Structure 1
Amino acid sequence: MTALATRIRRVGLPRLFVHLSVLLIVIIWLVPTLGILVTSIRDRDQITTSGWWTAFSNSAQTAAVRLAEPSAQRQEGASYVITGNVFEEGAPGTVRAFGVRVQEPAAFKAGETADLGDGEALTVNGDGSYVHSSTTPFEGNRGQRVYLTVATPPEFTMENYQTVVNAEGLGQSFINSLTVTIPATVIPILIAAFAAYALSWMEFPGRTIIIATVIGLIVVPLQMSLIPLLRLYNEISILFGVPSKTYAGIWLAHTAFGMPLAIYLLRNYIAGLPKEIIESARVDGASDFEIFMKIVLPLSFPALASFAIFQFLWVWNDLLVAIVFLGASRDQLVLTGALNALLGSRGGNWEILTASAFITIIVPLLVFFALQRYLVRGLLAGSVKGG
């Protein structure tokens, strides 16, 4: 306890609170993701009977089976006996308990002899073998119904992903999402970087008004500008006689929606770069384009990476803009649209939905982990250096 108190005093309560808060946020985000991953590779039957957190231990399931028919009986001394196994050949599992009434499926433990009355007895062992005996011959055409509590070992499979990619058509939707997201991330970064440099280091009339306008556009809701932008786009398509549902249209839409934040973020970062470097380059005769390409752009990589993460996540997870500007046809449907369709057609198949969901989040996770070291640096620099 003393060591803990000493450590708290050394770290400080404010920093300790920050560390615990970050740890809590990480856990809140990590647990659902881990649950989706584990569920996506589990067997369908085990998903319906137990939670994902029990995936690495035996899961208990209740099943009803019928024993062998009376025609399989044989006489042993004064008793008539039916033997067999409740499991199909090669099926995994261990019987924990059994019963002969649906109200009491676990009335007897495995290996225990159950007295069924009228001289009948039943023993079901853990390996599934059973002995059904009676002092009188068995009659009828159907065997005794028995209810079992079976512990099955964890079972994992990649068939869920094979089904999703091959049978559900998500492979094409995956390609469509990449086709939309990559250009819709690169284009606004390129344009915003040039604009941010101009607003930071070039003097021209109306620069302050443009900066204020960019900041104001950040708070404009997407839904407010979606319909006017769509009408303008359709009028241009009709005027030039080009198809309205094209990738170029959705690239321009995402560029327009992401541009204000990109310019704001990059402008704050670029404006905070050392003034001496820019002035030295100008003294050496470098043009604004050379300064931007050889000095500003390499130094601004943390800010570029920060915005790239946000823009990529936004475009990849988008459904509304994709449906409006690209359509919902099978050959143009993005991954979020395909997953939304699965919710309607395969809403009860959790193994399909979780596999689809993990395919959806795997690419953003890779992008985030590849660029995350630049994220905090770019955001903090942009927030404290702006002028």
Structure 2
Amino acid sequence: MEMAGTKSRLTWAVNLAVGFLVLLWIIPTFGLLVSSFRDRDAISTSGWWTALSASEQNVIVRADAPDNARPDGAVWVLTGNVFDSGSGNVTAFGITSREPEAFAPGEVATHARGHQITVEANGDYRITYPEEPSGNRGQRLFVRAESPPSFTLDNYREVMFAEGMGKALLNTLTVTIPATIIPILVAAFAAYALAWMEMPGRALLIAAIVGLLVVPLQVAFIPLLKLHNNIGIGKGYLGIWLAHTGFGLPLAVFLLRNYMAGLPGEIIESARVDGASDFAIFRKIILPLSFPALASFAIFQFLWVWNDLLVAKVFLGTGEDQVVMTGRIVDLLGSRGGDWEILAASAFVSIAVPIAVFFSLQRYLVRGLLAGSVKGG
């Protein structure tokens, strides 16, 4: 027997397992968030976990063309900075690939052709020519540089405006919000009828709904699209709202019916004795008490529709006013597959809204899922 006030080993094991799973999801998500604020050079040279520390890297910089040198007394001088952003710290430099770190900042390196090169710690370089130089190919400088942590919003600006993710976000909201609300409204009425209203064939209807839970939605794509075309809906928002409603109804009715069937029958019977109609009972008693189940299905349906690509490809057009975020990300993978900073920003934009929805409603999730599993005597 376990002593009072102590926890079993199984409880500690469960807590550790849950903590591990939480970290397993949080760490990559946080890494994606950090990467979305870094530039291309930072992402390509170091991991996101180094974002708050200075990064050291070896770069090859080509100075300005000798034609740009200006006379300074008896010599010709060319100046510039090795950092595009104008910020960084040079720890060593060189003028040949054999010795890329031969000189410390401030030292003078003499080229075989006679000109002298100096690179300061802040990245400023000075090339001194003994006579007027010519040519349009600048001197190569091998630099080991230490760059401070830097973050930018340019990735999000480019994603939301230049790459069209902002429009895709609005399109996705246009699809997701009605496709979540409509099946909840329809399923709530159906669930109440199946739970508390006597009707012939009620058991068969419940069995049919349970059976529809295991039917792959892909088998309905072609006939449903043909039906939409025949009745004049075609490809558009109305069609995809109806498609998601049909695909989501079996789970919605199943969850809500189980929850409503577990509500205290005495309350409903008392309301009927007082003369309340079924609609009044549904509106004033059932709906307020069923909010956990409604929130549970809302989470599932919202996440499913938000992350959907297949249904959107079938029932929506491909124009800019209809492409959803998942489709836009697929396009970016093809056109910007090497730009990890753009893909990271796009991915985080696509998951930010579902995360907010989940955490705002998650306290109702378990209560709604376990509805009707245990009933009091």
Please, what TM-score do these two structures have when normalized by structure 1? 0.84
Q: 1:10 aligns with which of 6, 13, 25?
A: 6
CA gap of 1:103–1:214, structure 2 versus 1, over 3 A, is farther
Q: Distance in 2 between matches of 1:18 and 1:167?
A: 47
Q: Which residue of 1 aligns with 2:47?
A: 51
Q: Distance in 2 between matches of 1:286 and 1:231?
A: 44
- 1:60 maps to 2:56: yes
Q: Which residue of 2 aligns with 1:199?
A: 194
Q: Which residue of 2 aligns with 1:291?
A: 281
- Give yes or no for contact 2:258–2:372 (8 Å, CA) kept in 1: yes
Q: 2:169 aligns with which of 157, 166, 174?
A: 174
- 1:326 maps to 2:316: yes
- Give yes or no for contact 1:81–1:131 (8 Å, CA) kept in 2: no
User: Alpha-carbon deviations, 1:320-376, whole Å to 9, x = none?
Assistant: 111111121221111211221111112222222222212111111111111111111
Moved more, 94-103 or 48-57: 94-103
Q: 2:29 aligns with which of 11, 27, 33?
A: 33
Q: Which residue of 1 aligns with 2:152?
A: 157
Q: Distance in 2 between matches of 1:138 and 1:61?
A: 34
Secondary structure (helix, strand or coil) at the match of 1:233 reads helix
- 1:148 maps to 2:143: yes
- Give yes or no for contact 2:192–2:260 (8 Å, CA) kept in 1: yes
CA gap of 1:199–1:243, structure 2 versus 1, over 3 A, is closer
CA gap of 1:234–1:384, structure 2 versus 1, over 3 A, is farther
CA gap of 1:129–1:248, structure 2 versus 1, over 3 A, is closer
- Give yes or no for contact 1:59–1:151 (8 Å, CA) kept in 2: yes
Moved more, 67-76 or 348-357: 67-76
CA gap of 1:99–1:297, structure 2 versus 1, over 3 A, is same
CA gap of 1:167–1:127, structure 2 versus 1, over 3 A, is closer
Moved more, 39-48 or 106-115: 106-115
Q: Which residue of 2 aligns with 1:208?
A: 203
User: How far 1:12 moved relative to its partner?
Assistant: 2.2
- Give yes or no for contact 1:271–1:385 (8 Å, CA) kept in 2: no
Question: Structure 1 stretches of 5 or more lacking a match?
Answer: 1-8
- Give yes or no for contact 2:233–2:239 (8 Å, CA) kept in 1: no
Q: Distance in 2 between matches of 1:153 and 1:141?
A: 36
Q: Which residue of 1 aligns with 2:358?
A: 368
Q: Distance in 2 between matches of 1:255 and 1:90?
A: 51
Question: Structure 2 stretches of 5 or more lacking a match?
Answer: none
- Give yes or no for contact 2:105–2:121 (8 Å, CA) kept in 1: yes
Q: What are the equivalent positions in structure 2 for 1:126-275 lying under 5 Å apart?
A: 126-129=121-124, 141=134, 144-235=139-230, 237=231, 242-275=232-265
Q: Which residue of 2 aligns with 1:359?
A: 349
Secondary structure (helix, strand or coil) at the match of 1:60 reads strand
CA gap of 1:88–1:172, structure 2 versus 1, over 3 A, is closer
The number of residues matched between the two structures is 368
Q: Distance in 1 between matches of 2:109 and 2:335?
A: 46
Moved more, 225-234 or 179-188: 225-234
- Give yes or no for contact 1:123–1:130 (8 Å, CA) kept in 2: yes
Q: What are the equivalent positions in structure 2 for 1:55-134 lying under 5 Å apart?
A: 55-66=51-62, 69=66, 86-87=81-82, 91-102=86-97, 104-110=99-105, 124-129=119-124
Q: Which residue of 2 aligns with 1:6?
A: none
Amino acid at match of 2:157: Q
Structure number having the greater helix percentage: 1
User: How far 1:299 moved relative to its partner?
Assistant: 0.3
Amino acid at match of 1:321: V
**% same residue:** 59
Across the aligned residues of Structure 1 and Structure 2, the Cα RMSD in angstroms comes to: 3.0
Q: Which residue of 2 aligns with 1:279?
A: 269
- Give yes or no for contact 2:228–2:234 (8 Å, CA) kept in 1: yes
User: Alpha-carbon deviations, 1:60-85, whole Å to 9, x = none?
Assistant: 23222356859679899xxx997856
Q: Distance in 1 between matches of 2:133 and 2:76?
A: 15
User: How far 1:276 moved relative to its partner?
Assistant: 1.2
CA gap of 1:174–1:255, structure 2 versus 1, over 3 A, is same
Q: Which residue of 2 aligns with 1:300?
A: 290
Q: What are the equivalent positions in structure 2 for 1:371-382 lying under 5 Å apart?
A: 371-382=361-372
Secondary structure (helix, strand or coil) at the match of 2:17 reads helix
Please, what TM-score do these two structures have when normalized by structure 2? 0.87
CA gap of 1:67–1:297, structure 2 versus 1, over 3 A, is closer
Q: Distance in 2 between matches of 1:277 and 1:375?
A: 24
